[in-house]
Structure 1
Amino acid sequence: MRALALALAAGLLSAAPATTSYADTGPRTWRVGPDRELTTPSAAAALARDGDTVLIDPGTYSGDVATWTQDDLTLAGDGGRAHLRADGNAAQGKAIWVVQGDNTTVDRIELSGAAVPDRNGAGIRLEGTGLTVQRSWFHDNENGILTGADSESDVFVLRSRFFRNGYGDGYSHNLYVGAVRSLTVAGCWLSDADTGHELKSRATGNTIVANRISDGDATASYSIDLPNGGRSLVAGNVVVQGPRSENPTLVSYGAEGLTNPSHTLWVVNNTFVNRRTSGTFVALASGARAHLRNNLLVGSGDLTSARADARANRRVGLGDFVDPAGDDYRLTASSRAVDRGVRVPSRWRAQQQYVHPARDERRPVVGRLDLGAYELG
């Protein structure tokens, strides 16, 4: 949870950046819009310097793609979400935006339609070190976000939506993070991946908290795939595997080998729903040190594929929830999950819970801990 706390403390969930201009010797604010001097984001990419802010008016920027080389850059929709639609174009044959600078922040941007010959077209292709994305949408791309390997890179994805991404070959995903130092995904809604995974991360450390991850009727594979292990927390998520999922596992840990230094996984206070007729809620590679606490299981399937430290995980029916047909898995007052939880070490607790659509809030403390992704208030 430390990564999420740092993000919140740094104000990463605050409003869009200020619009004050600066002198030529310091950071500047560039304004982009159809009625402005700079009519496209790519025009700002050619002028911006390190530390600058680019504010983009709402609207659709069709076919406009860009490479951002500046460090400490902020790219933000101003007054609403700015939509970058690929329309057959790609920067460097890779993405709508190729981000090569370090410590970039992207806020209130929508990126869609990225497709390239190698089938890895991304809304954002991260080649720099460090990225924060918040309040943004990625849809109908071959990958929503795709990053390379960077042992010094921390990636934060906050209060954002990913849907209908994936080429359909199983190698492209809604969100695909390479071997970075850390990944934090919080308050997001990931859904309807095309054959690939909803979320795949090779990061050394993963903090995946208070999200809704749902397949709908799509042919998605794993809901959460951590193929190389890593020190990971999966907490407070609602994870719904759809009936057409092409893989029966919801959370997969170490499927491609536990090559990251840590093999520790904590899976805490999630609500897991399997709409297939069989499956595994948490699949573990041999050698994983997994701790499963206070999770709710709905539907068929085994809790885990291997030995794990498992306590207070309970299977319940749909009647325990407010509106499961609408993916609302808040508890009813009569639910058997109320006051049934066990204590979890503070660093691994579910401290946030998902708020639809694509937000999160502090999980309340009301008596004894409830099971699942929500505390009955």
Structure 2
Amino acid sequence: MACGNGVWVAFYSTVSLSPSRSAPPQPSPTNSTWMQQLLNFTFISDQRSTATRQMSSKTLSTIPEEQREMDKGPGLLHAMLQPVVKLYRIDTRPALPSVKPRRHYCDQCGKSFTSSYLLKIHKIIHTGEKPYCCDQCGKRWTTKRDLEVHQRLHTGEKPYSCDQCGKSFTASSSLVVHKRTHTGEKPYSCDQCGKTYGVISHLVVHKRTHSGRKPFGCGKCGKFFSSSQGLKTHEYIHTGERPYRCDQCGKSFTQNSHLTIHQRIHTGEKPYSCDQCGKSFTVSSSLLVHKRTHTGERPYGCETCGKAYACLDAFKAHQYLHTGEKPYCCDECGKRFSTKNHLKQHQIIHTRE
């Protein structure tokens, strides 16, 4: 039975004669008041503001006239086994969530934390300290957890796998990001242009295109980049390093994403398909350019002659006609070209020879 902010619950019990005690004298027809059954109704209040709980009881006589005139034997036993009912009110209101107080503050930026450990980890950002070192490659990390995830690159351990495609990952956060490729979820959006991303770090890098900020500089040529990954990829130009190698044809790449795209040539996989004509592509950027053939969109316009293009590469190649720049060079004869496709067509001449 509901009442107020609680629920009344009834508990039934019986009163019986104890074996160690003798039975009371048998009742007489004129004197049977001893057979009155006591029904206790106990109400327990839930007033949280009061220091004590109020209790009230009420005694009622529920023995009918017929039972009062019962004599010995079964009449006595029946009267002593009458139920005693107690009602309790149980508070069903949801408990208020407990909020941990943030009492640990950073003396440099003012950010607060719930524990001294989290504050200690945060302060490493300001000091630049990386106390955890990998014993295989010497790379250093700010937390022990980051080191453990990194060491899985050496051991090959990938304990987190996708239940849809079976792909495995070294960190649980990487699995969460990967699952968004199946769901299409992009929870992070730019407040300036509305573009959305599935990874918050991609949004951070994107916002630098609006601000023009490029905090990562190359120590050899002085060129600056908006992301650390962009700088790392650029540095391979100076070192000539190509750490990502195809195990089928031996071709090497400076980025793991480029290797993944290349491997689709061998597997024939084309995971990106047009919802209008059904044509499939190996990379999402090719699908985006293709869709513009249906919409007629040409977002890249030349300021010199006004010609517009749907593809960024085609637009850049067109600009080289005005500037005279030919950035693509043949490594066998030294001839230069304005587009990568023209260079590839030229290189066929050397392969025939």
Q: Same fold (TM over 0.5)?
A: no
- Which is richer in helix? 2
Structure of larger gyration radius: 2
Structure with higher RCO (Cα < 8 A, 6+ apart): 1
With normalisation by structure 1, the TM-score equals 0.25
With normalisation by structure 2, the TM-score equals 0.26
- Which is richer in strand? 1
